[in-house]
Structure 1
């Protein structure tokens, strides 16, 4: 690994794009791990995370129900069945200090993604989506309620009035679909999917150490990095993809 800054990245900000969906628990974990890895990098201020839209279930109903109710309706069983199904991700979240509630809601996420696109235009996409997703997984918010989305937007410095305008219209729908089309062109079939500086890609929620290793490849450290974590699924992106 080089000990000198790569001329490809020297002195400039590096954009990290993460395709994500609100209700995806692995996206929730992966984003927090990526942020932790960035915070530990000596040049943390060089990195900019840009969240990209990817609906895992575009045909999901618009009327919210708890994730437990949705699971039992689709798969049968009772609350104990739901707990068993979510045991691994629940334990992982709590081991990393992240709340994880079975009372969180489930519904179509298209409108949330439309507001994310507006927030990205205002350079508040990460702050907005992180707040909504964190409260969502804590079971503290109905992210499908326009008023709650507007309040969350205001909390991170966005216009609540503008969010209500977006939600009452079809604005940013094309931007959501464009993100998804680009994701499919990159070969994305699930999320999270993270692209570093259009040079490296990682599929799935990786460990903090795996993310740190790719950050060091993207913006080399002035000292050698010793990787201490699990396997990385990093692959160079094909140059003809934009």
Structure 2
């Protein structure tokens, strides 16, 4: 299995998709619980949702499911949200706190390290290479980390999640103009809700790569799956009518970011 697929573009924009993959090698799949085998905790159809929204964007997409290893977690295993329920580098539970592994089949530290080398590291090597390539072309790179999640998950957060969840680690990972552009479009999207740096402030990808002083600007967009799926349960069907409406606003966000990019260069 190739752990990462790269579609190179020539614009300043990079779309990262660490959670769209559904591949689970057979030796791992056989050890999963029925909950784990369902693959439910994926960013369903995100690659289709963003396809063709803006011209010439680079796309870096993981092919492996996050149960194998989570490409948006700190490779050290450190929690992104200390003190809050979350899932780890290799998750032991799903988003509802249910076991992903059959009893006694959980991966140990050595196996987790092997998976990090086989999957997590190649994904991030490819992403880092594309960031450097794009920055060399334009003097600046804008990294937009694409995500989605069920709108109701009591184990992870209270109440219903807003439709647009914009994360910049409280403004640390990008120029304020990038955050403002996304927030302004989301706020003006009729019928949709949004929040900036709410429950999801940006995962490891956003926090690791977002270095505005080095002309790398990163933002995570966590979409509520209710905004574009027919239902937030199997078979997680893509809703053409919902997505047609949502894509208008996503296109506006990405278009604004590309337009702002030339203004973002700082002395290095």
Q: TM-score under structure 1 normalisation?
A: 0.28
Identify the structure with bigger relative contact order (alpha carbons < 8 Å, sequence gap 6+): 1
Q: TM-score under structure 2 normalisation?
A: 0.26
Structure richer in helix, relative to its length: 1
